[in-house]
Structure 1
């Protein structure tokens, strides 16, 4: 990752720039439908809380097994389909008194590790008043982007090997890969149960804690392991605070991670939020052919 500081008439603006392709990425704030209501304890703390969080990725992929806790072991409710979901993301960073947010929306298949997002940059984040939404295709070990700009033809894709990125694409693409976000919870060391609340009309359990990226990498599935291994080496600190919200079927409905890094100057805090809903939605992601991938020079902004 690279932290670039831009100055304009409105003062200093610090933003995170994509390490390889140069697209402006920032940290995730809360993407609509945040939890409301008061939290009420119902005894789901201690080891049960840790187990529920550890199993979140497996529940999403439909691979959870064993007895576990009531929250984590119960499969999808009758009439629902596991494995896919609609996704909303937000990534927000604050530095020098300026806050910048990038938002995305799409769908994801947790069984194949593939998804599609439309990522919208804030005005002027890419050096323009307006910027066309960037189409992102997510796949194990890879990120594909179209409408990248910076000299890339509009009909071409840019491919990035996420296992070579210093952050493992946790923040680079302007949205954390939903499966990687869930897999990161496998590295949870300390988890506190914060009670029940309601998220977008759905009763959920709120868990708060910290995760270690290296520990998560060792326990992650093959699709996320390479990216998390890269992130464990590239971040300033291996510890990532999080808030996770799980429904009564143990499915992750919302997760917020707080990343911290610094290349030059003071640390930059990046908050990445992923919101999951519409479980069972059909998801079909066709990756680009080699002839459609741009291999020329990308203009630096």
Structure 2
């Protein structure tokens, strides 16, 4: 299956340098440089709903907004030079306010050090906040990243794909195949496979997500994003896996982002940092020095 190609150049290097504690920079060879609310519908195997499989997936983000919130687990995998690295996260997300909190765990030694503390990330419309970022940032301070200014719209930069962005990507679903029913963590789900169009998803996205997805649509070399999506009997997205790749210098590096959703309706409290708690100094970009603000 074809994976999404990300253009190389200085912008791509900057994105790699921003990735959580430099993990993507080390593993990918970059160290040098809406819709309204819609209630869920009951799905039937082989007959995913009015409009077919594609329309069912295009409504998935709206169904999550109607559900309100969920707990989440995430993973982001990449491989370079024969080494596979996985960044894992766990947290909760409010789909109505598009706010989330996730604890990101780095693989051992992936950032060039052992025992790195888990990173706390706050997800918000147009912004990513990171604490325990490393790279010269004081432990008590947050780093704020404008996701609308990132070439990937924060689909991979933070090591976690924002859950709302992951669902909104399905608004661009096309060439969808209904694979069938299966069990996922004791829940009956319907498996769909297809390709999402980034540009189409950005145009159909909610105002809060549109800026980041528009940035991603401009920054990636092609709009096609392959995915596997799993919806429960109420039409709620339970699992989605997107396949991206970065093509900078040398062979393209595949990045697979997976999101699991469960515990719908859980209370989610997210308090964004005050201005005085945000670090605005120099951030180290690699092992050899240099940095950015």
- TM-score of the superposition, structure 1-length normalised? 0.81
Deviation at 1:299?
1.8
Distance 1:20 1:131 in 2: 15
Distance 1:130 1:22 in 2: 12
Encode CA deviations 1:181-220: one digit per residue, 9 max, x unaligned: 0000001111100000011000010000000111100000
Checking the alignment, whether the CA contact within 8 Å between 1:21 and 1:298 is kept in structure 2 is no
| 1:37 corresponding residue in structure 2 | none
> What are structure 1's unaligned runs of at least 5 residues?
4-15, 28-39, 63-81
| 2:174 corresponding residue in structure 1 | 189
Checking the alignment, whether the CA contact within 8 Å between 1:235 and 1:260 is kept in structure 2 is no
Q: 2:269 aligns with which of 284, 295, 301?
A: 284
| 1:33 corresponding residue in structure 2 | none
Flag the structure with higher helix content: 2
Deviation at 1:124?
1.1
| 1:57 and 2:42 correspond | no
Distance 2:45 2:167 in 1: 24
| 1:135 and 2:120 correspond | yes
Structure-to-structure mapping, 1:1-301, within 5 angstroms: 17-19=16-18, 23-25=22-24, 42-44=46-48, 47-62=51-66, 82-301=67-286
Equivalenced residue count is 259
Distance 2:87 2:272 in 1: 23
Relative to structure 1, the CA distance from residue 259 to residue 118 in structure 2 (aligned partners, 3 Å threshold; closer, same or farther) is same
Encode CA deviations 1:44-85: one digit per residue, 9 max, x unaligned: 3894211110000000011xxxxxxxxxxxxxxxxxxx2100
Q: Which runs of 4+ in 1 moved over 4 A?
A: none
Flag the structure with higher strand content: 1
SS of 2:209's equivalent in the other structure is: helix
Distance 2:99 2:256 in 1: 23
SS of 2:279's equivalent in the other structure is: coil
